[in-house]
A and B are shown apart, each in its own frame.
Chain A
Amino acid sequence: MAPAMIPSLRARDYLSDVKPIWCPGCGHFGVLSALTKALAYLERPKHEIAVISGIGCSSRVPAYLDCYGFHGLHGRALPLATGLKAARPDLTVIATGGDGDGFSIGGNHFLHACRRDIDLCYIVMDNAVYGMTKGQASPTTPPDWTQSALTPHGTGIPAFRPAAIALASGASFIARGFSGDPHGLSELITRAILHPGFAFVHVLSPCRTYRPDDQSSWKQAVHPFGEHILSAAEAVAETAVDTKPGATPALHVQDDGLGLGILHEVARGPASTSSTAGTSPDRQAALDAIEAELEA
């Protein structure tokens, strides 16, 4: 279909008529709004977009959009999206999910999606809690958070640092947004979709139900990335990661986790060597030739 035939769409045209299950005040409403704004800005036809998710509050996003979508397994949004994009490079493929889905059960896929650098936009709505299962600690929960009955003494484990781990794993685009700033977030998502490679958008998206006390301060605490760089001592205290004296300040130690903007953006790496992608359109001729070789 020629682009001229596509009527221009408003952000709300990308929404389905399915009503979100989210709690009042949930940060994810802002993310959904930012995503539809980005799609409208980019003028992507709805049928050329596929939004893929796993399981969790934020993974409900595909059902709320009037695009192609797949609400798959807990933790497996990235491989499903990877398979779709590899098979159908003509589509705009976006994966959405939460911190538990993406960094705990799906953590391995996150590392390898960063490495593989396939052309996906991955939006993680991080509220540092498992909401759908009613309030357990997630990988990004601070170690001393004691409000979960499952971990009454806190997890005692330093929090997962998504942006730093994405950087270490080879992601070519890393951004952080805040659900309370849908305009800024929309711009980041737009840039992420346009980035020709794996684009990770880490979104601070508060949970009003299970983390009301801790996360209500985010609105005041967030700041443009780079404005507040941790000192080495603070970084050590914050992350329990020691740094060698004289080490270069870097995202992986001195990010306070609240800086918004594009944290990292490089040209896409060399084409993935883990895949073989053919171009021959004549399947039958290829099959005939392969069968003929078997007679040799």
Chain B
Amino acid sequence: MIWQNHNQQSITVAVSGSGGSGALTAGFILLAAAQRCGRYGLMMRSAGPQVRGGESVAILRVGPSTVTNIGDRVDLLAALDWRNIERFQDELALDANSLILHDNEAGAVPSGIAASGAEQRPIDFGRRAAEHNGGRANMIAVGVLGGEMGLPLQALLDATDAVLGKKAPAAVDAAKACIATAHRGTAGKTESEPSTAPAAAQRWRLSGNAAAGLGALRAEVGFVAAYPITPASEMLEWLAPRLERAGGTLLQAEDELAAVNMLIGASFGGVPAVTATSGPGLSLMTEGIGLAVASETPILVVNVARGGPSTGLPTKSEQADLNQALYGLHGDAPHLVLAPLDVGDCAYTVEWGSRLAERLQTAAILLSDQALGQTHAVIDPPPRCPPVLGRKWASATSTQAQTDRLTDRRPNLQPDLQPDSTTPTNAFARYAPSADGISPMPSPGTPGFEYTADGLAHNAQGTPSSSASDHREQLSKLMHKLTAHDYGDAWARIDRGNLADEPADTAISLLTWGSSWGAVQEATTRLREQGLQVQSIGLRLLAPLQHDQLSLAIAGTQVLVVEINATGQLFRYLNAERVLPPSARAFARPGPLPLRPAEVIAQLQRLQPDADKNHAGGGDEHAGESLQAADVGGGY
């Protein structure tokens, strides 16, 4: 009864348990074992609010090709016990094709779980673990699930060593004994062979938060200041020892107000700077982000978003901070907004965002979320971002020593050492208008270029000025430098698939951003199997919106905008930018449940009842209708 996913090639398993049961550890071992067998996979975690030892569930999907989302259903659930299981009932997505492995000694299957119609099979997790000195029920679950998933014993044992490596040897031995016993009980299943393909050996297993940290290192970030917050802290904790190895500095700030201003100080000093936070921290940072924009000091703020508003859902995901990222700064404050599309893309987009901020001397807000940040995935190493010229330095050509020093400190950033202005004067024009809107910026320590950066409206010299003409000139510069930059093809990931150059009338564009990309892309694949012309577009650069390229990409198609928030924030933004055709529709629903491909397909079929029959003109029924409330939040 397993391997029930649509293509019969992937499987989603879950391990649940109350505090201390080790459900997450079991998930990590299974993911590591799958990696050893050349499988791809990802593992989401869901936890209650407890500080330590609360109930938790690991939901893990593995398959032979890249796994981008958790799928439609949990095929196999190992319930170590049932305490507080109702908190995860929605996440578990069991149905009549699912199989529940449960411990009879933990009590009957709760009615809410049993109502799914899933097959139930009792397993004596606890009693079988007790047969081994120091044995634990979660390791019996690893053996059973590993067997059901076709993972060979050796891969499970090796993965156990890797995951439990820091535990006492006796504990590791007990775990392995439990796994071996339980795995034997599943004999007869078709096993995967450990993969010997070099590509598989080079795959990475990491979280989106770790990937984001890697992106910062790749961008040659030299300074991080941050205040702890869920679910962003892991990015900072991953970075702390590694940034030190790379020669950078990390400060734990007293609050987010301090963190963002520390970034601005470091970046003013010429050192690329990044912080990570979540919604409440982003709220506190917004004044500082505006200062970075006005003073033209590059910074990158990574928002690992959680559900909101206010303190909201600290441990769970939602894509509801887009409005804040786009519009949260007071005044006209042009800045960059980016979003990574999957776990590996966190590295790509953080690197790109930091480099763009450096080049454009502006603030960048990057919208990751809990569903990316705290998901661990087996992925191919993510590519480096496209080349971006480094910060445009102002430096006198005669001061070679200074040039060398800057180059030494930032060896791979291709610093632009041919500034527009190289003549020091008494009043260096730090904010002088230029063709590309980017004014050469000196690093403190450079003689002859002393200037004062300012959050007050200022003239080209940086001197505070409330004159209308200075304001217009400087604002125009701030806007122009962002819109004049050539962002290349990285602004979006477009899977055009079987879309013809002249799309059929029924051709569909699924347009999304951020963590919803994975499920949307899988929905796209399935819809194509139904004979539809479908493309998926995941926006990586949300501001400045690449209006013309997006218009071109969706031309002639019916557009469904997909996102995990209640109010259709992307949909409204794109409509305000007048980039969508009148027939475009929204599928926006609140979090925190992860988007599932079947939801997208169901929504499309609801909006276009004829679409699956491949009738022409399906979109015309909706053309000209204004957005109905039922469409935004239509999933609920």
Contact = CB atoms under 8 A, between A and B. Distances in A.
Interface of A: 1, 16-18, 45-48, 50-52, 62-63, 65-73, 75-76, 78-88, 90-91, 108-109, 111-112, 274-284, 286-287, 289-291, 294-296
B45 to A, nearest CB: 20
Given A1-B401, A87-B249, A277-B244, A70 B445 contact: no
A291 to B, nearest CB: 7
20 contacts: A47-B449, A62-B452, A68-B451, A68-B452, A69-B451, A71-B454, A71-B464, A72-B264, A79-B225, A79-B254, A80-B265, A82-B262, A84-B444, A87-B269, A87-B271, A112-B254, A277-B244, A279-B247, A281-B408, A287-B246
B452 A79 contact: no
A68 B259 CA distance: 21
SS class, residues of chain B in contact with chain A = mixed
The 7 A-B residue pairs with the shortest CB-CB distance in the complex, in nearest-first order: A83-B265, A83-B262, A69-B452, A87-B266, A84-B265, A88-B269, A79-B258
B426 A276 contact: no
Contacts of A276: 240-241, 243-244, 249-250
B223 A73 contact: no
A241 B403 CA distance: 56
A68 B244 CA distance: 27
Contacts of A274: 251-252
B252 A275 contact: yes
A83 B464 contact: no
Interface string B402-432: 0000001001100000000000001100000
A281 B247 contact: yes
A42 to B, nearest CB: 16
Nearest to A74: B287
Interface stretch (B176-184, B212-220, B352-360, B469-477): B212-220
A63 to B, nearest CB: 5
Contacts, number: 210
A291 B246 CA distance: 12
- Residue from the set A80, A112, A282 with the largest chain B CB neighbour count within 10 Å: A80
B153 interface: no
B94 to A, nearest CB: 34
A108 to B, nearest CB: 6
Contact of B265 (A45, A65, A82, A282): A82
B269 A283 contact: no
Interface of B: 162, 201-206, 214, 217-218, 220, 222-223, 225, 240-255, 257-259, 261-271, 273, 287-288, 291, 295, 381, 399, 401, 408, 411-412, 426-427, 444-456, 462-464
B262 A79 contact: yes
SS class, residues of chain A in contact with chain B = mixed
A17 B247 contact: no
A83 B251 contact: yes
Given A17-B427, A79-B225, A278-B248, 19 more contacts: A47-B445, A47-B446, A50-B269, A65-B452, A70-B454, A76-B288, A83-B264, A84-B268, A84-B269, A87-B271, A88-B445, A112-B258, A274-B251, A276-B241, A278-B243, A283-B412, A286-B217, A290-B217, A291-B381
Given A63-B454, A276-B243, A294-B206, A79 B257 contact: yes
Nearest to B456: A71
